[in-house]
Structure 1
Amino acid sequence: MSETLRNSVKTMVKETFEGPPVPVKGSWFTSFEPNSGIFGVIEGMSCDQASISVHGTTVAAHTDHIRYHMWGTNEIIKNGKQPKMDWEKSWEIHSVDEQQWNRIQVELRNEYVTLLESIDAIEWNELLANEVLSSLAHSAYHLGAIRQMLKVVKR
């Protein structure tokens, strides 16, 4: 993969999780506000807010589902094959206490850092390129879902 494309992928992944660069000079697809990526959107959210059901799911479930998907991506990068994954189980979180909510956020950040570090070290092939780009798209999709849920959660 060319250095230009690798840097572009990293920029999009960073915007998904961290929001646009500060000071905000523009955004590719998130809001122009600082903290409009996944980390900023869930930052300061209480475990009670993260546990509010919106149409049968919670922000905590979405956040952990993003982590789970990213873990799978990191495993594919590391081992070259898809790990056994239980997608239904990844949606089983209905409520969290403060400790669980903090753990989900820390584990998501760890998977994010691992992915960013891996992007620089990957021996790229079509499978890995598709996997990294699908992880980006998947995370961006859930960022949008969480932002919509916040309209209910933060009322």
Structure 2
Amino acid sequence: MDKNLIQRDDFLKDVLVILVETFEGSPEGEGSAYLDRGVGIFATLEKLSAEEVSRYSGATTIAAHTEHAKFYLDRICELMNGNAEKINWEQSWLIETVNETEWNHLREGMRKSYENVLHCFAGIEIWNQEN
């Protein structure tokens, strides 16, 4: 067996546990990698209005961070599929404020990007140093 190969099923299981817990929250009654059990990014974002996520509280807004996270998720799949083009990270910070319609669209887009990442990870048959 090639020492550079990673056991696919073990790796995939571990990655998916962390991804699901990060975005969807930890399963009821189970331990958590995070301090606050059961709370994931999606549940946290659902509680916030467009007005709240458009307020500046430091360097940037929650809306901007949400777009940045979505942008990052999209790039993960591109990189895993062999796209080696340079990433323009400035594009990930273009959204700063949103109205309710835009906020709903951004949350839906982030969920789709997350689901796409799950599919990308599940679709890799051999994990090695290339991916």
TM category (shorter chain) comes to 0.7 to 0.9
Moved over 6 A (4+): none
Match of 1:13 among 5, 13, 19: 19
Instruction: Show structure 2 runs of 5+ residues with no match.
Output: 1-5
Indicate conservation of the 8 Å contact 1:61/1:94, yes or no: yes
* Structure 2 match to 1:109: 111
TM-score where L is the length of structure 1: 0.73
The answer to whether structure 1 residue 98 and structure 2 residue 112 are counterparts is no
Q: Which has the higher helix share?
A: 1
Shift of 1:30: 4.5
Instruction: Show structure 1 runs of 5+ residues with no match.
Output: 129-155
Over the aligned positions, Cα root-mean-square deviation in angstroms equals 1.5
Shift of 1:85: 2.7
Name the amino acid aligned to 1:24. G
1:40-79 residue CA offsets vs partner (Å, 9 max, x unmatched):
111131000010101120110001100001101111223x
Indicate conservation of the 8 Å contact 1:75/1:83, yes or no: no
| Structure with greater contact order relative to length (CA < 8 Å, sep ≥ 6) | 2
Question: If you compute each CA radius of gyration, which structure gives the higher value, 1 or 2?
Answer: 2
Shift of 1:82: 3.0
- What is the aligned-residue identity percentage? 32
How many residues in Structure 1 have an aligned counterpart in Structure 2?
124
TM-score where L is the length of structure 2: 0.86
Any idea what SS the aligned residue of 2:36 has?
coil
